[in-house]
Amino acid sequence: MKTADFNKDPNGLLPAIVQDVNTLKVLMLGYMNQEALEKTQSSGKVTFFSRSKQRLWTKGEESGHFLNFKSVKVDCDKDALLVFAVPVGPTCHTGADTCWEEENVSEFSFIDDLEKVIENRKNQRQKGSYVSSLFDKGVDKIAQKVGEEAVETVIEAIADREELFMEEASDLFFHYLILLKSKGKSLKDIGAVLEKRKG
């Protein structure tokens, strides 16, 4: 990793853009000096140099809305930082998720929520739940359902019945998520495999 050049600024401060590592939403912009970056990395809490207070300032030190540090990148000129973090609560002092008044959700937040529901039904079986009943029957039954839905999706695709195709494709995707969870995996794991293949 490149090393940030804090000497590029007369005050030793570089802009630090904070991005949610999960949703990839930009949360805020602050400034870091060498000490702030080192404290961020050692403490696991994103820390800036406050230009108004003229001291180190850990985001959330008063509100409890910390930014849990994950990683940092340095730009090509070594004079800007991209910090990846997980926010605890809203990031902006106004109470908004981000300093741009955007909701901090990913494009596929519904799918993220769906995966969480499936995980919950796996870990805490609920009477009357279709998903829990599939987990009770085991991976063989779940895999069989994926196969059935795949065949039905193919049939509707060939028949060129768009509405039915979309219904079957949705059923296939839903059961595929259940199959992944039954194997202890998620779409992120699939994404990681595909990412390796793109080279």
Q: What is the pLDDT, as a whole number, of residue 185?
A: 95
pLDDT tens-digit series, residues 146-190? 999 999 999 999 999 999 999 999 999 999 999 999 999 999 899
User: What pLDDT, on the 0 to 100 scale, is given for residue 86?
Assistant: 95
From the CB of residue 135, how many other CB atoms can be counted at a distance below 10 Å?
A: 19
Backbone φ and ψ of 17, nearest 5° = -85, 130
The CATH homologous superfamily of the domain defined by 109-197: MazG-like (1.10.287.1080)
For residues 84 and 70, give the distance between their C-alpha atoms in angstroms, rounded to a whole number. Answer: 5
| Amino acid identity at 155 | I
Domain ranges of the chain: 6-87, 109-197
Angle at 20 between CA 17 and CA 24, to 5 degrees: 95
Residues 165/157, Cβ–Cβ less than 8 Å:
yes
User: Across all residues in the chain, what is the average pLDDT?
Assistant: 95
Query: For the chain, which residues score pLDDT lower than 70?
Result: 1, 107, 199
- The topology under which CATH files domain 6-87 is Ubiquitin-like (UB roll) (3.10.20)
The reported pTM is 0.64
- pLDDT for residue 38: 98
